[in-house]
Chains A and B, each alone.
Chain A
Amino acid sequence: MRQSLIIVIFALIPLIAGAEPIKDRPTAAQLASLKNELRRATSPSEKLAAIAKFNASLSERLRTIPLPETAAEKAAFADLNELQTAFDELPQRNLDRESCHESRESLLRLKVPSADSEGTPPISPALQEALVVSQMICR
């Protein structure tokens, strides 16, 4: 009984935590590594270097990943492109107040128009990741 419960709980964790936004495993691993580096970074230049390294690896991945064929591969490919779009809006040169403000404005403009002009437009998983990283570097 206890074993069954543990299995069910482990199976439910992804659902509870939210669906995995980055389906491409190498990129998901790079993203996790980036967040660890940002937590350990002690200066703005280290943070910017970590962002630049991630962006470069993401560009390389987009250049070399096999071209998608199935619907699932296309969705994963689209997510990668969406991630690059979002992370391109992070500060590139410095982390002063103005750069962080402009970066945040640019990120918010990536929200797609809501079907209802009164409603809150949805935030994509890629944009959510970029906003989290933006928070980590622009505190």
Chain B
Amino acid sequence: MRKGRSSAFFIFGVTTIVAATSPWHRVERGGSVALASSQAYSLQDLIPAIEAALGQIERAQRIPDLMAAGPTPPRNDAPVPAIPEPPPVRAEPPPEAADFSTVPPVQELISPPSPEPEAVATDRSLAPERAPRPRPRPHRTPEPVPNSTCSNCSEHVRMRDIRYMECSNRNNYLESELSSMRGRSNILGDLLRRGPRSNGVISGACVRAGLESVFSASATHFASCAAGASRPTSGQRRPCISENYFTLVNNSLDLVSRCMAPYLSSSTSEQQTDIRLLLGLMAQESGLHANARNGSGAAGLGQLVQDSIDAVNRNEMASIRSHLQAQGGDCARLAQDLLTSTPPMRGGTSHACDRISLARGNPALNLIYTFGNLKISKRALERSIFEHRDYRSAFAGLSAEQRNRLRTSIVVWSHNTGVGGMQTPLRALLNSTYRGRRITDVDRFLTELSQAHRDYPHSSFRGRPAVIREKSGYFRAVSSRLRTIETNAGSGSCVNL
């Protein structure tokens, strides 16, 4: 960019000198300005070319501003954007076994994601800031290593140029912990030593895009935990997106999603929808950052609160452990290292490090609990709504795929509202607008459900308009976030199952 500016100034300087010594005049023509000359000079023929060059340089300089502006965020009263049908899944090799023992993959070029400055203030979710204009960052490309298992390398092509940040003393507070984790013999150490996994369940390009989709580099909604501490230090900047940090986040998301997706749903197509919307949820809640923390105490990847943690510990943890152990390989190691040999996660501000500390197992541990919480919500909503004698007929007109998409959308939405907070407006909608009628359009129903959150809010939310607005708009925000990530990652679905 500096070279471009220097060239522009040089050309401009030359032009100025030439213009000052010649009887040229400016002609305004239809809003544009053209230079005309009254005498024939040898440089006259060059002027249009110089103008064109200046115009191109100016346009090129404006591109980062246009990219930083990002897509126009939807208005609050806009219909819930349709969850776009995911683009056809790239023909990927069959999912590898959960055993993570492949050689580090070949990494190839992609263009860097643009920061998404969309600001959606929420009670529980963190309030994102507008991302600054991106500066060119030096990138380090690891030495390519042959990967004999890669039969379709399109993901590798997109992973090669994952751009890592140069860390400063303001944002490198996780680096020493990450370095020491690499030397450990547990599953997290392994995940770090393997390098960033390409061809994962969640596209690495989407993870990279997600890490910059919510918070700017100067945002301070983050916390750090000293060794052995249970209460974190707040007000930290967004962590440096170094190779180590990206590797931990990327590989944790991949491994836990592979291992826990079958816990949530049985079929591959359901799991694909689950993981995709869960990615949108996590991006909306925390920007995919392990140590995000908001003022009300919600913390970590899924912004878990005490009630959610307690419910998982009480009702799901034994089943989760059994499920992971039964999967074997790295899934079993997750259970052993994060759920068996360490005490359960605790809620509350004084134990927030349980939810964000890397040494404690995050972001993988936080993601396991998020899956567990979704399972609780799914089970409750299946029984109370989708299979309820009074309501099941409303869903009878939907195909299996539509029904799954609607159900997963509502379950993901309930991560924010709570099961109770979802059931009141949902039942009210089914008992009013859909009294005696069937649902035929999933996206329209979700839009109507957003309105129902405003018309029939849970009694605990009544009289709190900001809370009602947040609950009402949550799923729209998640959908929008997911679309932004998929666009910034180079389009295509983020999920490869």
Residue of A nearest to B459 (CB): A124
How many whole Å from A72's CB to the nearest CB in chain B?
12
Query: Residues on A close to B: CB < 8 A?
Result: 59, 62-63, 67-68, 74-75, 77-79, 81-82, 84-85, 88-89, 105-106, 109-118, 121-122, 124-127
Please report the number of residue pairs spanning A and B whose Cβ atoms sit closer than 8 angstroms: 107
List of B residues within 8 angstroms of A74 by Cβ: 428, 455-456
CA of A116 to CA of B462, assembled, Å: 17
The complex places the Cα of A42 from the Cα of B432 at a distance, in Å, of 38
A-B contact pairs, 6 of them (CB 8 A): A77-B432, A81-B427, A81-B431, A117-B307, A124-B420, A124-B458
How many B residues touch the partner, as a band? 35 or more
The interface residues of chain B lying within 8 Å CB-to-CB of A79 are: 459
How would residues 426 to 453 of chain B score, 1 for a CB under 8 Å from any chain A CB and 0 otherwise? 0110011001000000000000000000
Contact A110 B349 (CB under 8 A): no
Q: Are A112 and B461 in contact (CB under 8 A)?
A: yes
Nearest Cβ on chain A to B320's Cβ, whole angstroms? 17
Expressed in whole angstroms, the minimum distance between the Cβ of A18 and any Cβ of chain B is 13
B297, closest chain A residue (CB): A117
Give Cα distance in the complex from A4 to B249, angstroms: 70
Q: How far is the CA of A13 from the CA of B415 in the complex (A)?
A: 39
In the complex, chain A residues whose CB is within 8 Å of the CB of B456: 74, 77-78, 81
Contact B432 A85 (CB under 8 A): no
Chain B contacts for A88, CB-based, 8 A: 384, 388
**Roughly how many angstroms separate A60 CA and B300 CA in the complex, as a whole number?**
44
A63's closest neighbor in chain B, by CB?
B435
A81–B416 Cα distance when bound, in Å, is 20
Q: Produce 1/0 per residue, B463-491, CB < 8 A to A.
A: 00001000000000000000000000000
- Checking A63, A89, A121 against B460 with a beta-carbon cut-off of 8 angstroms, the contacting residue is A121
Would you call B196 an interface residue if the criterion is a C-beta within 8 Å of the partner chain's C-beta atoms?
no
Tell me the bound Cα distance from A92 to B307 in angstroms. Answer: 26
Interface of B is mostly: helix
**B308 proximity list for chain A (CB < 8 A):** 113
Say whether B110 faces chain A, with CB atoms less than 8 Å apart.
no
Given contacts A85-B384, A112-B417, A112-B418, contact A117 B348 (CB under 8 A): yes
Q: Which residues of A contact B186 (CB under 8 A)?
A: none
CB distance from A1 to the nearest CB of B (A): 37
Q: Which residue of A lies closest to B421 (CB)?
A: A112
Q: Which residues of the partner chain B approach A105 to less than 8 Å between Cβ atoms?
A: 314-315
Chain A nearest CB, measured from B157 CB (Å): 42
Whole-angstrom distance between the alpha carbons of A1 and B477 in the complex?
60
Distance from A50 Cβ to chain B, minimum over Cβ atoms (Å): 19
Whole-angstrom distance between the alpha carbons of A82 and B456 in the complex?
A: 10
CB of A75 within 8 A of CB of B462, answer yes
Q: Which interface residue of B315, B347, B455, B458 has the most chain A CB atoms within 10 A? A: B458
Known: A117-B305, A118-B306. A78 touches B424 (CB 8 A): yes
Chain B residues with CB under 8 A of A110: 418-420, 423
Pick the most buried of B314, B421, B467: most chain A CB atoms within 10 A of its CB. Answer: B421
- In the assembled complex, B208 has its CB within 8 A of some CB on chain A: no
Bound-state CA distance A118–B347 (Å) is: 8
User: Are the C-beta atoms of A109 and B305 separated by less than 8 Å?
Assistant: no
Taking the closest CB of chain B, its distance from the CB of A7, in whole angstroms, is 29
**Residues of chain B from 314 to 337 with CB closer than 8 A to chain A in the complex:** 314-315
Choice from B376, B420, B455 contacting A111 with Cβ under 8 Å: B420
Interface centre among B123, B298, B420, B459 (most CB of A within 10 A): B420
Question: Closest approach, in angstroms, between the C-beta of B328 and any C-beta of chain A?
Answer: 31
- Contacting residues, chain A, for B418 (C-beta < 8 A): 110-113
**B124 CB–A CB distance under 8 Å:** yes
User: By the criterion CB–CB under 8 Å, are B428 and A78 in contact?
Assistant: yes
Q: Which residues of B contact A127 (CB under 8 A)?
A: 420
The answer on a CB contact under 8 Å between A67 and B307 is: no
CB contacts (< 8 Å) of B347 on chain A: these are 117
The reply to whether B307 and A85 form a contact with Cβ atoms under 8 Å apart is: no
| Minimal Cβ-Cβ distance residue in B for A88 | B384
Residues of B within 8 A of A84 (CB): 427
Complex: A1 Cα to B416 Cα, angstroms: 54
